[in-house]
Structure 1
Amino acid sequence: MRIVMADDSLLLREGLERLLVESGHEVLEAVGDGLSFVSAVLRHRPDVALVDVRMPPSHTDEGMRAAVEVRRSWSAAPILVLSQYVEISYADELLATGSGSIGYLLKDRVSDIEEFLDSVERVAAGGTVLDPQVVAQVMAARRRSSPVEQLTPREREVISLMAQGKSNLSIAEAMVVTEGAVTKHIQRIFGKLGLHQDDSANRRVLAVLEFLRS
Structure 2
Amino acid sequence: MERDHREPEVHVENLKAQPDGAAVDDPGQRFAAYVGREAEPPRVARYAVNEAMIRNWAEAHDDFNPVYVDRAAAKATGRPDVVCPPAMISTWVMAGYRRHREIHRLRAEGVTEDFAYSQLLSELDAAGFTSVVATDVEQDYHAELRPGDHVTCHFTIESISPIKQTALGRGCFITLLKRYLDQGDALLVEERFRLLRFDPTRKEGAA
TM superposition score normalised by structure 1: 0.25
User: Does 1 or 2 have the higher relative contact order (CA < 8 Å, sep 6+)?
Assistant: 2
TM superposition score normalised by structure 2: 0.26
Larger Rg: 2
